[in-house]
């Protein structure tokens, strides 16, 4: 019998939730079976208790995305208080135009993931959603992600309506952000934009200039709450000086983050364990520090090269130690 693992105490379900494209609200991405109602159709309510978690790896650590709410859920008093009471990690669509070789969102196999990425997004029933959210009496921080959230047909209206009383942030590859977006929303209600710069998919799809133009439109509109990351695919690392210079010319600076891949992106090689020591010097090794509940529970530092993500060969996430 597996020895019982120390448990990380998480606020998932209490004041942080995961929302899926169909509006279903769940405790978190890894606990999709624990339902909390539907943000479009109603019946939504939060739990009144914390959740002990002993997973090896957490795909979307809600507690870490908004640590103040984690502290508040554990009984700490925030000073000053946050302007919102709940955090919602919203996979608003699975559609994405990039089809990055190191990305599987739905899966578990690439074929079904690609099918989901190629399925056109549905408009969000924003009138119904605002009714449900307002009825909850809570103020939210909605973190939009996907797929690519800006492929949702009525995304500008969704952000406009939600930012009347709530806050919105996003994870985006920036290439589908409508150029008029930044002039049509209240920047004071926009939190952080995590921008993923997918260098090779951009080149493959001839979208590099699009990315640069979209970045310039955002900055020219005066928005500066963003961070930019690049997944450290070996082909990118080989030419990293060239790319730093290419994007740096346009004011685009980025962090290299570890690629988690079970062997699909670089034929047969599993990442991050396959990085060389020289490659690791260029990568933000601590980037995934908060994604390992067992380690976090023991307050142990994570050596990301010891993590082997699940793949078609092994359905389990494992630590090689």
Which residues form the interface with ligand SF4 (CB under 6 A)? Answer: 8, 10, 12, 28, 30-31, 51, 53, 55, 58, 61-63, 293
Does residue 152 contact residue 129 with C-beta atoms inside 8 Å?
no
Q: Which residues on adjacent β-strands are paired with residue 231?
A: 257
Nearer to ligand SF4, 52 or 178 (CB): 52
| CB closer to ligand SF4, 33 vs 245 | 33
Give me the least distance between CB of 288 and ligand SF4, in Å please.
12
Which residues pair with residue 252 across a beta bridge?
Answer: none
Query: Residue 261, Cα to own-chain centre: how many angstroms?
Result: 16
Furthest CA-CA distance within the chain: 59
The nearest distance, CB 128 to ligand SF4, in angstroms, is: 26
Find the shortest distance in angstroms from Cβ 274 to ligand SF4.
26
Q: Is 37 helix (H, G, I), strand (E, B) or coil?
A: strand
| Cβ atoms of residues 26 and 62 within 8 Å | no
Nearer to ligand SF4, 17 or 129 (CB): 17
Q: Is 244 helix (H, G, I), strand (E, B) or coil?
A: helix
In Å, how far are 55, 57, 304, 310 from 318, measured between CA atoms?
Answer: 10, 8, 11, 7
Kindly state the smallest distance separating residue 11's Cβ from ligand SF4, in Å: 8
**Smallest distance from ligand SF4 to CB 107, Å:** 17
- Considering the complex, state which of residue 13 and residue 201 has its C-beta at the smaller distance from ligand SF4: 13
Asked whether the beta carbons of 36 and 14 are under 8 A apart, the reply is no
Sign of the torsion formed by the C-alpha atoms of 252, 89, 113 and 30: positive
Comparison of 73 and 124: residue with beta carbon closer to ligand SF4: 73
**Which one, 61 or 149, has the nearer CB to ligand SF4?**
61
Outline where 137-204 has alpha helix (H): 155-162, 199-204
Mapped onto helix, strand or coil, the DSSP state of residue 105 is coil
CB of residue 145 to ligand SF4, shortest distance in Å: 14
């Amino acid at each position: 019998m597996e020895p019982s693992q120390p448990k990380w105490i998480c606020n998932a379900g209490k004041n942080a939730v995961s929302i899926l494209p169909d509006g279903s609200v769940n405790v978190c991405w890894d606990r999709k079976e624990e339902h909390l109602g539907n943000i479009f159709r109603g019946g939504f309510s939060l739990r009144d208790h914390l959740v002990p978690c002993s997973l090896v790896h957490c795909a979307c650590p809600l507690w870490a995305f908004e640590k103040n709410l984690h502290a508040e859920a554990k009984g700490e008093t925030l000073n000053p208080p946050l302007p919102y009471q709940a955090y919602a990690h919203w996979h608003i669509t699975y559609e994405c135009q990039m089809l990055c070789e190191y990305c599987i969102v739905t899966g578990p196999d690439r074929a079904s993931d690609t099918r989901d990425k190629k399925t056109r997004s549905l408009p969000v029933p924003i009138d119904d959603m605002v009714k449900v959210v307002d009825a909850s009496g809570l103020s939210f921080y909605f973190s939009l992600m996907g797929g690519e959230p800006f492929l949702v047909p009525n995304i500008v209206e969704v952000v406009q309506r939600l930012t009347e009383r709530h806050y919105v942030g996003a994870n985006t590859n920036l290439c589908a952000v409508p150029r008029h977006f930044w002039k049509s929303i209240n920047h004071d209600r926009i939190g952080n934009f995590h921008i993923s710069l997918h260098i090779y998919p951009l080149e493959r799809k001839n979208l590099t200039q699009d990315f640069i133009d979209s970045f310039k439109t955002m900055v020219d509109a005066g928005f500066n709450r963003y961070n930019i990351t690049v997944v450290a695919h070996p082909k990118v690392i080989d030419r990293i000086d060239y790319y730093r210079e290419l994007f740096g010319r346009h004011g685009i600076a980025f962090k290299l983050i570890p690629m988690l891949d079970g062997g699909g992106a670089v034929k047969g090689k599993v990442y991050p364990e396959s990085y060389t020591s020289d490659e690791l010097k260029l990568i933000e090794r601590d980037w995934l520090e908060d994604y390992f509940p067992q380690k976090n529970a023991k307050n142990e530092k994570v050596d990301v090269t010891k993590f082997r993500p699940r793949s078609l060969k092994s359905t389990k996430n494992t630590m090689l130690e």
